[in-house]
Amino acid sequence: MAKSNPPFMSGVPELLLLRLLDNREMYGYELVRSIKEATGEAISLGEGVIYPVLHSLERTGSLQARRKPVGGRTRVYYSLTKQGRGRLRDLQDDWRRIQSGIETALESPGHA
């Protein structure tokens, strides 16, 4: 019972998070809105997606968390580790590969 590979396009939420955090550290609630904004409303990922991914990225060493109290509330700021930057490059490459694969398929012979 060989372990099944992840679905071929499942790295996108992870990619978007890492890309945003490559600019500056941010906290979860902020990232939820930033993704929507940065993609021009094209993609909207809820908290139920973001938080688990952040935790998983922290567990696997791509992100580093820092709790920071701000006006009575506590925010958890995330920043990229060195490993995280490598992971970002990998995911970016994966994305370009499949993106251009699809592009090729869509453009072939008979386009409208």
Partner DNA sequence: AACCATACCTCGAACTAAAAGGTATAACAA
Partner DNA sequence: TTGTTATACCTTTTAGTTCGAGGTATGGTT
**Residue 82 contacts its own copies per CB under 8 A:** no
6 vs 112, beta carbon nearer DNA: 6
Window 18-37: residues binding its own copies (CB under 8 A): 19-20, 22-23, 35
Instruction: Give the span between the Cα atoms of 58 and 46, in whole angstroms.
Output: 19
27 - beta bridge partners? Answer: 77
Residues 77 and 67: their CA atoms lie apart, in Å, by: 6
Among 24, 40, 41, 48, binds DNA (CB under 7 A): 48
Distance, in Å, from the CA atom of 71 to the CA atom of 90, rounded to the nearest integer, reads: 37
* Contact status: 101 vs its own copies (CB under 8 A): yes
Q: Which of 55, 64, 79, 95 binds its own copies (CB under 8 A)?
A: 95
